[in-house]
Amino acid sequence: MIDLSGFDPNAVANPNNNIFGLPFSEEDAKLVILPVPWEVTVSYGAGTARAADHIFKSSRQVDIFDIDGFAGWKQGFFMKEVDKKLLFKSDYLRKEAELYIDYISQGDDIEKNKFMCKSLREINEGSAFMNAWVYEHSKAILAKDKMVAVLGGDHSTPLGLMKALAEKHGEYGVLQIDAHCDLRKKYEDFTYSHASIMYNALEEIPAITKLVQLGVRDYCEEEWNLICKSNFRIITYFDKLVKERMFEGQSWKQLVDEIIRNLPQKVYISFDIDGLDRKLCPNTGTPVPGGFEAEEIIYLIKKVKESGRELIGFDLVEIGVGQTDWDSNVGARILWRLCNLMVS
């Protein structure tokens, strides 16, 4: 156990320390944050591949006192370095994907263009490589009896962690905060699209017994039909219907209690920042009007923990990079609250 007697939690963050200015090494930390700099398949705005570095910088401005888990940080949080090779691979394939998306938007036949066929194959192979990379790194950290959080990157990034958690914990449920269902079988022909993360998770990880989605306000008929035919394996709290219930007198606490009743004992949190109101994440990749306040979601996660359920891991994804550091500022504070709730 690290000696914290010389560490002043009230002082300015030491730039020589790790995330949030904390003095932990990976070996000392209970929770390890794995940055995944990947955004190959994003379909609108880009920039999230570089979010982790911005969040790391912004984290030094976060006061490390949290009344919901004020001593949680003493168990140690550590963020691994961004893998530059993975980032460069993302950058290269992102340019390929941009050309491919532009080509298919013209309505041209893919089979007639050998270059586009090659690009699609390379993009799908690259995404499979990224999934394996996340899986292997997550598995290695979990083997040391530590918790793992994925920091994206786009929402395709946590599939490998979710697979590793299934091997360690067996059956569990996913609580997804998101403006989108992410249940498309494929999107723009990309097998591991950011718009397909939950479809792929349910298809490839039988241990996920329940998916509870919150904040969804942009979805297609294919996704609607999948939800309706899922025999309640998927339960979606559409933003519109949640707001209508609140307009008609139900409290957020009543809704939170209902959401929690649908979750199994072990819970993984998948937090796409676009599940929040856009004023909190103006540069997220696929913004949609509506969404929640940050404290509403933190309250929900706090109540999940208080219900006696076990939080086994989380991801925080789709944080954009803009001309100011507002997105990373919000992202750093949400990351801090999640880390504390996870270990407290």
Mean pLDDT of 235-262: 98
Residue 329: inside a domain: yes
Q: Are 118 and 9 in contact (CB under 8 A)?
A: no
Higher local confidence (pLDDT), 295 or 285: 295
Residues β-bridged to residue 276: 292
pTM: 0.96
Amino acid at 174: V
> Over the stretch 9-26, which tens digit does the pLDDT of each residue have?
999 999 999 999 999 999
Which helix (DSSP H) or strand (DSSP E) does residue 243 occupy? helix 239-247
For residue 172, the SS3 value is strand
Position 142 confidence tier, pLDDT thresholds 50, 70, 90: very high
Position 177 scores a pLDDT of 98
Residue 9: inside a domain: no
Residue 54: inside a domain: yes
Position 111 scores a pLDDT of 84
Any residues with CB less than 8 A from the CB of 217 and at least 6 apart, and which? 179, 238, 239, 240, 288, 289, 290, 291
Answer yes or no: is pLDDT of 139 > 80: yes
What whole-number distance in Å separates Cα of residue 296 and Cα of residue 247? 16
Residue 93: inside a domain: yes
Q: Residue 298 to residues 47, 238, 292: CA-CA distances in angstroms?
A: 25, 18, 10
Answer yes or no: is pLDDT of 299 > 90: yes
> Over the stretch 77-107, which tens digit does the pLDDT of each residue have?
999 999 999 999 999 999 999 999 999 888 8
Domain count, the chain: 1
What whole-number distance in Å separates Cα of residue 164 and Cα of residue 149? 12
Answer yes or no: is pLDDT of 1 > 80: no
Answer yes or no: is pLDDT of 70 > 80: no
Residue 59: inside a domain: yes
What whole-number distance in Å separates Cα of residue 11 and Cα of residue 65? 12
Residue 324: inside a domain: yes
Residue 304: inside a domain: yes
Position 109 scores a pLDDT of 81
Mean pLDDT of 232-250: 98
Domain at 250, CATH number = 3.40.800.10
Range of the domain at 173: 19-343
What whole-number distance in Å separates Cα of residue 65 and Cα of residue 71? 8
Residue 4: inside a domain: no
> Over the stretch 249-267, which tens digit does the pLDDT of each residue have?
999 999 999 999 999 999 9
User: Could you tell me which of 182, 190, 183 has the C-alpha nearest to residue 125?
Assistant: 190
What whole-number distance in Å separates Cα of residue 224 and Cα of residue 180? 11
Position 54 confidence tier, pLDDT thresholds 50, 70, 90: very high
Answer yes or no: is pLDDT of 45 > 90: no
Higher local confidence (pLDDT), 263 or 71: 263
